[in-house]
Structure 1
Amino acid sequence: MGVGRMKVMDTLRSLDAFPKHGEEFRVRTTHGAMASVVAIVAMLYLFVSEFYYYSRVEVVDRLVVNSSHADTLKVRFDIKFHHIPCDLLSLDAMDTSGQRQEELVHNVFKRKLDAEGNKADRPERHRELGTLQHEHQLSDPGEKPACGNCYGARDDPDACCNTCEEVRIAYEDKGWAFHPDEIEQCQPAKVLSSIDPETEEGCNIFGNVELTKLSGNFHFAPGEHLQAAARSGQMSFSDLMSLTYKSFNISHDIRTLAFGNHFPGIQNPLDRQSRSVSDGSGMYQYYVKVVPTTYKFLNRRRKDLVSNQYSVTEHLRHVTPGSGRGLPGVWFFYEVSPVQATFEETRQGTLEFIASVCAILGGVFTIIGLADRVVGVAFEKLRGDELLR
């Protein structure tokens, strides 16, 4: 039993690929010590570099066919108009056919700015959308204005209150409290009273709006209530024409413009951009190509972030009365791309990291050992040549 076991052990020892040498047979040299130090430093440096690469999160991007079925496109914006009073400015959106996008879900605010561009008032909710877009909207239609609502202040159901003053008198006759902010006929007068040619006032308009998914435009232009002011006699149509072309300077600062939620690493091309128009009578047009984007986090517990990127080109069109080229404003024409971008966070696998570390350690040990052997042979040859002399 003991003899058989010894044979098995002898056979096992013969398979040893790492034979050991006795301490008395080992020769330690200076160049060998230097090679060992170099090997240790190289191994430590390469190990740290590999560990850094292993722990680092990389973002891999790819393009696929857009298969999303979202019906709306959320736009976030924050824009400053330094020369347009808030009471003159409005927002609207249209589809590709030129029709207004009805029942828009929006959360938009306007804040007055002083001459230096600083906040001059608290933000107010911008509830009524609608803009003037064509020159014919500035001319007198020659139609008799429709019968204005008296809000129940007249006993005669057919009575008309076409001006703010008529509504105020009707309220006084009834003994009711009069609140002009709630009366439609008083809004044009409110707008005109806020326009002071000697006061430089600007407007910061910000918020978000949900648009149709495929394509269309949204724009900032003179509000429709200006036309209502002219039709109600609060101002003449010539004054409206002058106000629209001469007083509507579209120079603007875009603090942010984003289509969807923010995701890591994105840089919107129009963020913190300024555009100045010297004559004011211009239509600034941005043509935006929107690319649906999905961001996938390394932590699968986090929900994928669905948003959009975009590229943009721009054009300034100068408009003048009688040119038929439209009214001053800032327009954003958008089109959604059929291609979708996907960004995914990845990291090197543990097994791959272990294999890389083993390859690094083994490779450095082998190369340094080979170099040490070459140096040793060279030293022995030099030593032998000296003895022969």
Structure 2
Amino acid sequence: MAPKSRFTRLDAFTKTVDEARIRTTSGGIVTIVSLLVVLFLSWGEWSSYRRIVVHPELVVDKGRGERMDIHLNITFPNMPCELLTLDVMDVSGEQQHGVAHGITKLRLQPPSRGGGVIESNSLAQLHEKAEHLNPDYCGGCYGATAPANAEKPGCCNTCDEVREAYAQASWAFGRGEGVEQCEREHYSERLDQQREEGCRIEGLLQVNKVVGNFHLAPGRSFSNGNMHVHDLKNYWDLPNGMKAHDFTHVIHSLRFGPQLPPEVIARMGRRTAWTNHHLNPLDGIHQETSDPNFNYMYFVKIVPTSYLPLGWEQKSASASDGSVETHQYSVTSHKRSLMGGDDAKEGHAERLHSKGGIPGVFFSYDISPMKVINREERAKTFLGFLSGLCAIVGGTLTVAAAIDRGLFEGATRLKKLRSKDM
């Protein structure tokens, strides 16, 4: 016999010789069942290790001097594009009157004719170039100062430039009767031709990431002191027999910042409800009215949100790491007639509305100081997977050994009892 090692006394796994081992049918069945259980639980542990979960974190948003993209697509079936104006303003004092860059207007047929698209015009290309005029021609601005963006400095060579000059002077313009440039371009005839049309406005706004609002209202806008004013003359003065305009509208989509990439949404699938938070609550909203004196207001609370995919921190700074900086938002809405009154028809006679204002659709947004970070992570680490695998194997074999021992002992005692009876 080989000499004993000093570690022999420390052996916690004592052995038995083959002659002392007994193999039983019940032991074979327990072994097969335990192996199947180990395989099944090991597959579940592997699936759990491969599963990706999204862990939300709430932090203080420390971004400064950032800009925010607003993507909008809104249809006004009873408002012609010629009258519709988009303005933006915020608490920093920045104002964007008649936003043109990045915005497209689609002229729509009247609802009675199906509301199909007539033509698409980029707002940045609507201004007349007046290239057919004599190079020495300098149109008058009819008492107003020529706009800074005039094609020819100090002159108003197009109807749009005259209208812009009037807006800067805080003067109402009307249909342009008696204005040479507008009569030459048939502005009033073009306006009357579009009276029964609708308009879809879509595109991208870039605004400061501060509290502010943007709105769609009739007529060209201008500032009069501390007041924001719209020239509503053409909105109210209708040709005889013409139906009044109104602000019935459909919000096809409105979001702040980029949408989650399709591959991200597809990968998340139905495994988590997190993507439901990115369903924009105003998408598909339809508001209908026949009152031209009507005002819609949407109060939007915006929460900055980051999406960090799995392994984003391991990618180089030069390559796209797949992260998305976007915004979630919640919204409450309010609507009222500019003529004032109460909501007695809706069963709330105690609810009174103030009188006055501008007809249109207004969006007032507020930015949360907190930021949500949604981080993709594996459900467990590789070490956690190995620990779970060892626990499954060890635990299953231990329980199987106990069951086998119990079956063996039970069978042995039954045999002894039967032998005594015989």
Whether TM-score is above 0.5 comes out as yes
Q: Which amino acid aligns with 1:166?
A: E
Are the equivalent residues in 1 in contact too, given 2:52–2:377 (CA < 8 A)? yes
Q: Which amino acid aligns with 2:413?
A: K
**Distance (whole Å) between structure 1 residues aligned to residue 235 and residue 75 of structure 2:** 29
1:191 aligns with 2:191: yes
- Which of 296, 303, 311 is 1:284 aligned to? 296
Instruction: For residue 76 of structure 1, report the CA deviation from its aligned partner.
Output: 0.8
Instruction: For residue 289 of structure 1, report the CA deviation from its aligned partner.
Output: 0.6
**Distance (whole Å) between structure 2 residues aligned to residue 122 and residue 360 of structure 1:** 67
**Distance (whole Å) between structure 2 residues aligned to residue 72 and residue 207 of structure 1:** 16
Q: Deviations over 1:235-259 (max 9, x none)?
A: 696439x98xx73332222222111
CA spacing shift, 1:123–1:100, aligned 2, 3 Å: same
Instruction: For residue 102 of structure 1, report the CA deviation from its aligned partner.
Output: 6.2
Unaligned runs of 5+ in 2: 127-140, 147-154, 159-175, 222-228, 265-274, 316-320, 342-353
Are the equivalent residues in 1 in contact too, given 2:106–2:201 (CA < 8 A)? yes
TM-score between both structures, scaled by the size of structure 2: 0.69
TM-score between both structures, scaled by the size of structure 1: 0.74
Query: 1:286-365 counterparts in 2 under 5 A?
Result: 286-299=298-311, 300=313, 301=315, 302=321, 304-320=323-339, 324-347=355-378, 348-365=380-397
Q: Deviations over 1:291-319 (max 9, x none)?
A: 11122222232153222111111111222
1:151 aligns with 2:165: no
Q: Deviations over 1:46-70 (max 9, x none)?
A: 1111111111221111111111113
**Distance (whole Å) between structure 1 residues aligned to residue 356 and residue 231 of structure 2:** 22
SS of aligned partner of 2:124: coil
Corresponding residue number in structure 2 for 1:213: 209
Instruction: For residue 89 of structure 1, report the CA deviation from its aligned partner.
Output: 1.9
SS of aligned partner of 1:247: coil
Q: Deviations over 1:228-282 (max 9, x none)?
A: 695xxxx696439x98xx7333222222211111235322222233333354642
Q: Deviations over 1:30-84 (max 9, x none)?
A: 3222322221222112111111111122111111111111332211111222332
Instruction: For residue 338 of structure 1, report the CA deviation from its aligned partner.
Output: 0.8
**Distance (whole Å) between structure 2 residues aligned to residue 360 and residue 57 of structure 1:** 22
**Distance (whole Å) between structure 2 residues aligned to residue 284 and residue 38 of structure 1:** 68
Are the equivalent residues in 2 in contact too, given 1:104–1:211 (CA < 8 A)? no
Corresponding residue number in structure 1 for 2:415: 383
Are the equivalent residues in 1 in contact too, given 2:338–2:356 (CA < 8 A)? yes
SS of aligned partner of 1:191: helix
CA spacing shift, 1:325–1:363, aligned 2, 3 Å: farther
How many residues are treated as equivalent by the alignment? Answer: 336
Are the equivalent residues in 2 in contact too, given 1:248–1:328 (CA < 8 A)? no
Kindly, what percent of the aligned residue pairs are identical?
Answer: 31
Query: 1:1-389 counterparts in 2 under 5 A?
Result: 6-7=2-3, 10-12=5-7, 15-96=10-91, 100-101=95-96, 106-114=101-109, 115=111, 119-127=116-124, 146=143, 151=157, 163=177, 166-167=180-181, 180=185, 186-196=186-196, 201-224=197-220, 230=233, 238-239=237-238, 247-263=244-260, 264=264, 265=275, 266-277=278-289, 279=291, 281-299=293-311, 300=313, 301=315, 302=321, 304-320=323-339, 324-347=355-378, 348-389=380-421
Unaligned runs of 5+ in 1: 130-143, 153-161, 170-177, 181-185
Q: Which amino acid aligns with 1:151?
A: N
Q: Deviations over 1:192-214 (max 9, x none)?
A: 22214xxxx33221111011211
**Distance (whole Å) between structure 2 residues aligned to residue 164 and residue 15 of structure 1:** 112
Instruction: For residue 99 of structure 1, report the CA deviation from its aligned partner.
Output: 7.0
Are the equivalent residues in 2 in contact too, given 1:80–1:203 (CA < 8 A)? yes
Instruction: For residue 377 of structure 1, report the CA deviation from its aligned partner.
Output: 2.3
**Distance (whole Å) between structure 1 residues aligned to residue 19 and residue 293 of structure 2:** 97
